[in-house]
Amino acid sequence: MTGLTNILESIYSVVRTMTWVDFVDITLLSYVIYFVLKLIRETRAGQLFKGIAFLLVVYIIGKFIELKSITYILERIFDIGILAILIMFQPEVRRAVEKLGHSKLGLRMLLPVSSDEARDTWEKAIDEICIACEKMGSVCTGAIIAIERQTRLGEHVDDKKATFLNATPSEKLLRAIFFHNAPLHDGAVIIREGMILAAGCFFPMPQKEEFVDKELGSRHRAAIGMSENSDAIVIVVSEETGQISVADNGTLTRNFNYESLREYLTKRLIPQPVDKKEFLEKLGFPSARHQNHEQEEVNPEHEKNSES
């Protein structure tokens, strides 16, 4: 009972001396822990994390009952623990850093600006991609199309099996690439800035492959894997059913048609124009409209003073 009282008194003394900076520090640390746990959940990294936790428990027990050999070995392991974690969790660390880079904190996401020429290019490309996917789905022609966003996919073009094209996307060209027994039909097409960058590209398998539906084929698995390793939007047309699916951020969504696919790609690829005046108003800067309104209110008063 005395021990419990001492613990409560210690906690109370710590809380009493805490400042608002300490609360902010605890909140940030809690978020980091939550982010790490969310990142490794349902992945192979989760099993590694359980193994590290087990070693930590063994170390504490060994230290308590004075198992010198075990504690010495574990201490040497923990000395290189950070490096070992970076090596073992390399895919997860890479994904985390990339997600931070794709966050909406960037000015590009805060105030998206797109030229009319770029918008026209993307609108035409999206339309041709959707038409091609719908027609390939109607005849059960398998296809996989990765649309590049911020993360560059050049490493998949450097592969000797890939073919550099740099061509304007069209429904006929896409159908010709994925036509059965065509030289490039097994690989994927990469779209960059509204243009077909390359064809015949091969993508990595998903990191949490054991959780993927076993009915999905190699194209769907490659699409999920590519969307896990980048921010690309990957479209898949099933060779068995003709069903159109989209992989985005490691999640596969099925049953798209021309209209729904076009709407989805338009929202994800073409940023909506932002009114700069409204944006500046949200930041607290006075807009020209407010300034004009203030001048209109001041000018009549000024005229009265002049007349008097």
- Residue 290 pLDDT > 80: no
Give span(s): CATH 3.40.1700.10, the chain.
Answer: 119-269
Locate tokens 């009972």: which residue? 1
User: Phi, psi (5° rounding) for residue 157?
Assistant: -90, -25
> What is the CATH topology of the domain spanning 119-269?
YojJ-like (1 (3.40.1700)
Exposure string over 58-79, b if 16+ CB within 10 A, otherwise e: ebeebeeeeeeeebeebeeeee
What are the pLDDT digits (tens) for 125-165?
999 999 999 999 999 999 999 999 888 887 778 656 788 99
Q: Rounded CA gap, 60 and 57, in Å?
A: 5
Pairing assessment for the beta strands 143-147 and 188-192 based on DSSP bridges = parallel
Cα 40 to the center of its chain, rounded Å: 15
If one counts every other C-beta atom within 10 angstroms of the C-beta of residue 245, the result is 23
Judge whether residue 72 has pLDDT over 70.
yes
Prediction pTM value: 0.60
Average pLDDT over every residue of 71-82: 80
In the β-sheet with 251-256, what is the strand arrangement from edge to edge?
163-167, 195-201, 188-192, 143-147, 233-237, 244-248, 251-256
Q: What average pLDDT does the chain have?
A: 77
pLDDT at 7: 76
What mean pLDDT do residues 44-51 have?
65
The pLDDT of residue 186 is above 70: yes
Q: pLDDT confidence of 94, banded at 50, 70, 90?
A: low
**pLDDT given at position 152:** 81
- Write down the number of H helices and E strands in the chain: 14, 7
Residues 6+ apart with CB under 8 A from 16: none
